[in-house]
Structure formats: structure tokens, C-alpha cells
Amino acid sequence: MLSAALSAVLSMVIAISAVTPRPPAPAPNDTYWPKQVNLAPADRYGINLLAAWPYSRGAGVVIAVVDSGYVSHPEFSGRVLAGYDFVTDPEAARDGDGRDPNPRDEGDWVSQAESASSQAGSECEVRDSQWHGTHVASIALAATSNGVGLAGIAPEAMLLPVRAVARCGGTERDVADAIRWAAGAEVNGAPTNEHPADVINLSISGEGSCSGPIAAAVEKALSLGAVVVAAAGNDATDALTRSPASCQGVITVAAVDQSGRRTPYSNFGTAVSISAPGGTMLAGIIGASNEGSTIPRHFTYMRAAGTSSAAPHVAGVIALARSFDRTTPAPELAALLQMSATPFPLDPSTGLPWAGDCDEGRCGAGIANAGAMLALMAARPKPTVQFSAPESLTIGLDGGESAPVNATSGADGLALAVLAVVSTSACSFADGVVTALTAASCRLRATVSGTRDAAPGSVDLVLNQVGLSSELTARITAKIRLGRSAAATIAAASSGAWKAKSLTPKTCKILGRRTVMAIGLGTCSVKVSIPVAGPYEAASKTLKITITR
């Protein structure tokens, strides 16, 4: 659920139709690609994936999937980071030791006896292993164009598997610790996460509004810069009554079918931020899986439907966006996701979204549109920076002048730009104050993060620094005969190392530091220069000599 302030952003009129997108990528050769209608263009109510790939494929981004763990699958080959198993109950975990560094999904099957003795209700009905985390992860980041299987949304992203649910679900404490750890926070008893997630996918749902450890964990993850994506839930009820869907700051995802209408099972309401394909009981979303009905066996593929499948679509789209621009903060990315969404289909009789489906804001801003989001980000103008700085600084034998410098960005001038010195030998900058170190120009660079309105970038400020005169003098005889030489007399108050250079190499050349050798008839021009040295400014003199026979 996004904040009211962020929702207000949607009132902006964005001329997406004026954006000239890059040509879409060619279709991949994955076996199941023709059946992946969930990734189709927006006019078919898919997420418009091929239009996004020319901008990004998710390189450098870490997607944490807090779920049932994962089983080895070719779709993740070479892209799985060291995760963790936060399931405390060893019997539920089926690994015999509770929490451990191995996030492998050991299977969440429930036998008749286990179901009969459980107090977990519908979570503990008799069933085979679901391999839920593996399926969810593959939607977001399965390998692409490898000639087999399916195409993932962010095929160059890295998977961080974090196991938090097992047989009969999971505990609030285990899930909360998994979220915190995934974002890079310290968790007692667990090693430091060396690869904090950029995006955290939570395809899990529990009864009750967001509170307690889950709310605190989500808040911590957001403070560390992660984008948190949560499934709205599959109870056909208000998502405000489910957690983590109702947590403040998360991107909550409802499910739509191939016609763009809310699926019968999907939760809805003001907590929902966006919708994405979730599949139906007859046409689920294709994903990676395992053949084992209890313990893991050989890898395979399967279809599954639910908001659990819808959420990783959005996690994958956010991964593409974060790879394209790593500086735009999570709330701004969420705003861009909503502003670029595909509108819901309309009831021809009313001209409004179908009653009971996605009318009255029940399903968020629209259907996630990866291509439109990336095109919108690419079309953002370069940042503007306003500087508050002196026109110049002075420097003398007793040291350089200091003055405050400030940089702000945006039309309202409220966003603070990060300032740093480019010319470190000329000036220093600390605590908002620049100090002249030499008489050279001081160059400061203001770096601006991306926002919904402007692309990231940097703008330089050059300060003129007025120092002492070098008092350079240079003299030489007015005429030299061809083949002869003469020495120049050069002096300066500055300690800088002066040098002489012939500007007319066909008539004269420099021998040593100051001797001019006549090698051709005509006028010889020699430039004597001295660089900036401490408080002394750079200077130069040009000598003219006539070369005769």
C-alpha cells in the first residue's frame, strides 16, 4: 500500500503518448514464450515486456524472494546468491535443524496425519509440495533466450532466496526476520547478508492488517532502500485485512486475467497499488517447478494462478527500472510504475471499468506496463541545479578564502544535490564550505538522483579563484642569425616551473630550458609560461625574434 502523498502524484498529467520509445526487442527463443501471454503487449493486457528490454534486462540488481526457498533449476544457473533459511521449526522445515544457511525448499507437502493433527486450518490441508518460491522467482528472473523453458522478466538480475515459509505456512517472526535480513539489516544468529536486495518479493499473505514485527521489518527494509512488493492475497476480500499487503510503503499487487479484468480470487481495495497478470484456474502463469510430490526430484515447469504470480511480475519490472537507474528512490519508482500503467478495460455500456472488478480504484492505478515505465524514465529531462555560491575566491600568501556553497535541484529548488570537489588540488569542500587551495579554478560537481520528473545526472560549478601575480618576465635579443642561438632571460616571483615552447617550429627550436636555436628564416615566436603554483596565478609571455642570414 502506497502513501497518500505518493498517490497524489498520480494527478500529474504525464504525456506518455509523446514519448518516443525504442524499438522493442525481438521475441526470445524460449520454448514456452508463445504461451507467455502474461508478457504480451499492453493491448493484450500483458506487461509489455519486449518494449522494456531495449532499456534494461535487470543487470546488477538483486531480487530477494522471501518464500518457501528454492530448488535447483537451470533457469537460475549462475545467478543464485547465498541466501538463508529462517524457518525456526525443524519439523515444518523438514531439514532437522531449523534456521540454517541453506535456503533450499525441502518440500511443503502435508500428509493426512499431519493435516489432522494441525491447528493451522486451510494452510495445513493435505497436499503435495508446491515449490512455490521457485515458481515465483522464475516469473521475475528466469533465464531468457536459452532455447528452453520460459522467459523471465529481468533475466540478468540475481536471485537471493530467503526461506521463511514451509509446511503449513510460516510464523510472523520468521517472515519478519527474513525481510530484515534480505534488505541488509542485522538479524541475531544469522550471518551478514553480503548482497542486500534491491527488490524484495513477498508472495505471501496472512490474516489481519499489517502490524507488529512484519510492519517493523517492512519499514526497516524501506529505510535501507529496498523496494518491497507484496501479493494482495487470494481471498476475494479487502487487502487492507491482509499482511503484508496492507503494510505502509509496499507495492501491493492484485491479479488480472488475460482480458485485463480482476480475477475472481484476487483481493482488492485501497491497499492495492497496481495489478499484474495472475492467471486463472484454467490458464495459470507458467513458471519453474519440480517433479517431486514430496521431496525435490527433477526440475520441470508448471502453471499456477494467484496474486503470488502477479507480484513477481511487478518485482521484475522494478528490477528492470532499478537497473536502468539506480539512483531513483523507491517511492519515486513506485510513482513511475503507477503513472505508466495500462488502463483497465472498460465496460462498453458505461465507459467505466467493469463494476465489481477494478472500478472505484479497487485494483490500483492500472496494469503494470514495463515498456511504458522504462520509456517514461528514459524520457525524463536532465536535472536542473541551482547554486548558491560566491562569484570568486581569493588566495594569498596567508592562505585561501573560504565561503559556503549550496546546490539544490528541481523546479522548487527543494531537493539537495550532493556536492563534491572535482579539482581536488585547487580547492577543498567540507561541511558545505569551499576553501581555495591554489590560484587555479575550483570545480565542484553537484550530483542529482533521479526522480519521477527528472533523470539522474550531474552539473559542474566552476569558481574563479583570484591569486597573486606571478610577475613573469622574459627577454631575449631581437635578432638571431640563421644557425646561431641565444638564451632568454626569465624570472618570476612564483616558484612554479616555467617552460619555453617554440610556436614556429620551422624557424626556431628550444634547446634545454631557455636557449633558442635559429633553424629557418623569418619570425620566431617563443611562448614562456608558468603554471599555477600555490597562491600565484598562471602566466605567459610571447617573445618575437627575427631570424636573418
Distance from C-alpha of 266 to C-alpha of 542, rounded to nearest angstrom = 81
Distance from C-alpha of 542 to C-alpha of 527, rounded to nearest angstrom = 4
Q: pLDDT in tens for each of the 549 residues of the chain?
A: 654 433 333 333 333 444 567 899 999 999 999 999 999 999 999 999 999 999 999 999 999 999 999 999 999 999 999 999 999 999 899 998 889 999 999 999 999 888 887 665 567 889 999 999 999 999 999 999 999 999 999 999 999 999 999 998 999 999 999 999 999 999 999 999 999 999 999 999 999 999 999 999 999 999 999 999 999 999 999 999 999 999 999 999 999 999 999 999 999 999 999 999 999 988 999 999 999 999 999 999 999 999 999 999 999 999 999 999 999 999 999 999 999 999 999 988 888 888 788 888 899 999 999 999 999 999 998 888 899 999 899 999 999 999 999 998 876 666 677 889 998 899 999 999 999 999 999 999 998 888 888 888 889 999 999 999 999 999 999 999 999 999 999 999 999 999 999 999 999 999 999 999 999 999 999 999 999 999 999 999 999 999 999
Catalytic residue from among 30, 67, 198, 325: 67
Residues 442 and 488 in one domain: no
Residues 332 and 356 in one domain: yes
Q: Which of 346, 361, 378 is the last residue of a domain?
A: 378
Q: What residues does 290 pair with on adjacent strands?
A: 299
Residues 487 and 422 in one domain: no
Name which of 483, 467, 476 is nearest 517 in CA terms. 483
* Angle formed at CA 429 by CA 427 and CA 434, multiple of 5 degrees: 70
Q: Are strands 84-85 and 158-163 parallel, antiparallel or unpaired?
A: parallel
Domain of 494: which CATH number?
2.60.40.1080
Q: Where are the alpha helices (DSSP H) in 260-369?
A: 307-324, 330-339
Q: Which of 466, 482, 501 is the last residue of a domain?
A: 466
Look at residue 417 in the predicted model and tell me its pLDDT.
77
Residues 82 and 204 in one domain: yes
Residues 368 and 301 in one domain: yes
Residues 515 and 432 in one domain: no
Three-class DSSP category at 153: coil
Residues 360 and 457 in one domain: no
Distance from C-alpha of 337 to C-alpha of 27, rounded to nearest angstrom = 23
Residues 353 and 441 in one domain: no
Residues 461 and 538 in one domain: no
> What is the span of the domain harbouring residue 94?
4-378
Q: Which of 450, 466, 482 is the last residue of a domain?
A: 466
Distance from C-alpha of 193 to C-alpha of 13, rounded to nearest angstrom = 41
Backbone φ/ψ region at 371: left (φ over 0), alpha (ψ -120 to 50), beta:
alpha
Single pTM value for the model: 0.83
Query: Over the range 39-56, which residues count as b (16 or more CB within 10 Å of their CB) and which as e?
Result: bbbbeebbbbbbbbbbbb
Domain of 355: which CATH number?
3.40.50.200
Residues 143 and 162 in one domain: yes
Backbone φ/ψ region at 364: left (φ over 0), alpha (ψ -120 to 50), beta:
left
Contact 533, 464 (CB under 8 A): no
Catalytic residue from among 30, 95, 129, 132: 132
Give yes or no: 67 in active site: yes
Catalytic residue from among 205, 308, 340, 409: 308
Residues 120 and 165 in one domain: yes
Look at residue 2 in the predicted model and tell me its pLDDT.
53
Look at residue 7 in the predicted model and tell me its pLDDT.
38
* Structural domain count of the chain: 3
CB atoms within 10 A of CB 458: 15
CB atoms within 10 A of CB 386: 14
CA distances 224 to 39, 180, 184, 329, 391, Å, are: 30, 9, 7, 11, 38
The residue type of 163 is R
Residues 26 and 87 in one domain: yes
DSSP per residue, 234-282: SSSSBGGGEETTTSTT-EEEEEE-TTSSBPTT--BSTT--EEEE---SS
Look at residue 452 in the predicted model and tell me its pLDDT.
85
Distance from C-alpha of 79 to C-alpha of 85, rounded to nearest angstrom = 18
